[in-house]
């Protein structure tokens, strides 16, 4: 049987303020944007970062960065990686289990079609996005079939969505990545 192992770059642990609560969307987004920026700076992946937070305490549960290139795996987007590590940390396949507090996924860019599906199925109760789909498209990423109705669908199922949090800062990382010759691996 083949085994797949997923590991975050060593530097991630030092970037995430594990013991410090982040009580606002802006503070949470600062961490996601820093993860995206450092992923580009360290050459460990694409320009995307995400963090799952416990909304009751404001503390981070798990972080993710884009590992597509590093792991040679098309599904290892920052959001999916953060959700996988959060579910592992909490030993739950759903972050909406009755004994758990609500959780938010804070991501440096609006999720692609795959990641939006993962948001729904993971049990996340809130989604905060930085850069927009259009920002990602402008540098060449294909985000797949994501429509305004996609967000309506999430909200109708109890996922609160906030878009455009620290958009300028998050979009700047995308531009930096492209200018530095970063690979557009799905375009």
Burial bucket for residue 96 (CB in 10 Å: 0-12, 13-18, 19+)? middle
Annotation says 69 is catalytic: no
| Pair of tokens at residue 160 | 């609160």
Annotated catalytic residue: which of 26, 38, 79, 110?
79
CA 98, 104, 105, 110 torsion: positive or negative? positive
Q: By the 8 A CB rule, do 35 and 49 touch? A: yes
Q: By the 8 A CB rule, do 22 and 45 touch? A: no
- Rounded-to-integer distance, Cα 8 and Cα 119, Å: 20
- Report, as residue numbers or ranges, the catalytic residues: 79
């Amino acid at each position: 049987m083949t085994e797949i192992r997923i590991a975050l770059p060593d530097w991630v642990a030092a970037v995430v303020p594990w013991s410090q609560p982040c009580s606002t969307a802006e503070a949470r987004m600062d961490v996601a944007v820093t993860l995206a920026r450092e992923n580009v700076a360290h050459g460990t992946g694409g320009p995307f970062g995400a963090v799952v937070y416990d909304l009751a305490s404001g503390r981070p549960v798990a972080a993710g960065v884009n590992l597509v290139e590093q792991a040679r795996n098309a599904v290892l987007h920052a959001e999916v990686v953060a959700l996988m590590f959060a579910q592992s940390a909490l030993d739950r396949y759903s972050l909406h289990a009755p004994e758990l507090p609500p959780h938010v996924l804070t991501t440096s860019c609006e999720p692609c079609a795959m990641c939006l599906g993962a948001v729904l199925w993971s049990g996340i109760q809130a989604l905060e996005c930085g850069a927009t789909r259009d920002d990602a498209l402008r540098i060449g990423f294909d985000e797949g079939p994501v429509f305004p109705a996609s967000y309506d669908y999430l909200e109708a199922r109890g996922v609160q969505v906030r878009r455009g949090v620290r958009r300028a800062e998050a979009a700047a990382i995308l531009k930096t990545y492209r200018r530095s010759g970063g690979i557009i691996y799905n375009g």
